[in-house]
Amino acid sequence: MAKAVVVVGTQWGDEGKGKIVDSLTEKADVVVRYQGGNNAGHTVVINNEKFILHLIPSGILHSDKLCIIGNGVVINPEALIKEINELKQRGIEVDTNLRISKNAHLIMPYHIAIERGKEAKKGKKRIGTTGRGIGPAYVDKFARVGIRVGDLLYPEILREKIETNLKEVNYILENFYSEERFDPLDIYNEYMGYAELIGSYIDDTEIILNKALDEDKRVLFEGAQGTLLDIDYGTYPYVTSSSASAGGVCTGSGVGPTRIDEVLGVVKAYTTRVGGGPFPTEIKDELGQQLRERGGEYGATTGRPRRCGWLDFVALRHSVRVNNLTGLIITKLDILDGIDPIRICFGYKYRGKVLEEFPKDAYILQECEPIYEEVKGWKESTSGVSEFESLPENAKAYISLIESTLGVRVDIISTGQSREDIIIRREIF
């Protein structure tokens, strides 16, 4: 059985990874978040109680599991502390089972100001970011001027880094974005306050992870966003600022590639997208709005409405390839109940040509028209079904079509929000 399993989104995020991770956590020992920041949100429903997590892995809802925020994550300490406090207030144990990589980078107040300034300057050409400073924090990381979680433990180093960065940042904010300057002492005092609250969680997490695997413990890696938002393999520039595909696991956690046993891709039974950027299969009529309302397609982090569309096999083949998926997980099958016919995109038309491979250029994808085939829908309810054989025949045919087209087996099917609304066709751990 597998020891190291990756759960990754295959579309533009929001595929329902939180529930899947929560389910798989039952047999895992360690759960790891390896990229992204508090621009992502995972929703888990337990006994009709909804939990929305932004930075802490979904595994935190199991009291006997160790949860790790890896070095590939950028952390807003204020948001993290708020999340910790909210979990504690709801009776969730956090103190003994959360560790944060000392190499993870911190989101600073000026990152948020810069991002909002950039978006405002772009006007109609804005990307549609969450405005949470994620991109600028990653920019500083790769420019080697970032401030890391471990710096919170060294006050003089922290203060020096803040003062050095603000010499340039304040000039840009004031002269280019017409934003107010930041006082380095104010930021220093604020972040020293955070250090007191999260200092006990900071650790050498890559050592903890590799030791866990050496001891044959089961580790689950939880991705944020989705492959089509990956900084390298997504619809650039309408992407996030981190490696949301499976490749980000190794650089974002400190675990080598040969230690990964399974890569499971989460596929929503239809497709959604938040923010700007091309979306060939978007449904722009009443049915799109119907899917949004039935599926609760509003961002867990921002509340923004998601654009809804049909399943896109061109995009999914791309995700299968770059992640080398070993299994698929279909979510929100129940949202398609009663929709007949169902359309599926098998190719794109672009300037008189038929494209079967996903274009890497957003300006090409923007002009692509989907080539659809129709399949029969089902009138029966799939909500809460827990056995594959109990699904309507046309729903089973839909799953089989996904398997045969993508060449990857469907191991798990989600048929509702709750933990129990799930079909397990293959045990992963």
Active site residues: 14, 42
- Amino acid found at 316: L
- Residue 78 in contact with residue 104, Cβ under 8 Å? no
CB neighbours of 224 closer than 8 A, spacing ≥ 6?
Answer: 9, 13, 17, 33, 35, 36, 40, 42, 242, 244
- Comparing CA positions, the residue from 204, 242, 237, 250 lying closest to residue 100 is 204
Please report which helix (H) or strand (E) contains residue 424, including its range: strand 422-424
Q: Residue 237 and residue 231: Cα distance in Å, rounded?
A: 8
Q: What is the dihedral of CA 191, 196, 198, 200, to 10 degrees?
A: 140
DSSP secondary structure code for residue 367 in this structure: T
* Cα 238 from Cα 135, distance rounded (Å): 12
User: Among 329, 280, 316, 343, which Cα is nearest to 406's?
Assistant: 316
- The helix (H) or strand (E) run that includes residue 410 is strand 410-414
**Separation of alpha carbons 328 and 271, rounded Å:** 15
Sign of CA dihedral 173, 174, 176, 178: positive
* Among 220, 223, 224, residue whose Cα is nearest residue 260: 220
Give the chain's count of helices (H) and strands (E). 12, 20
Token pair, residue 30, equals 């360690």
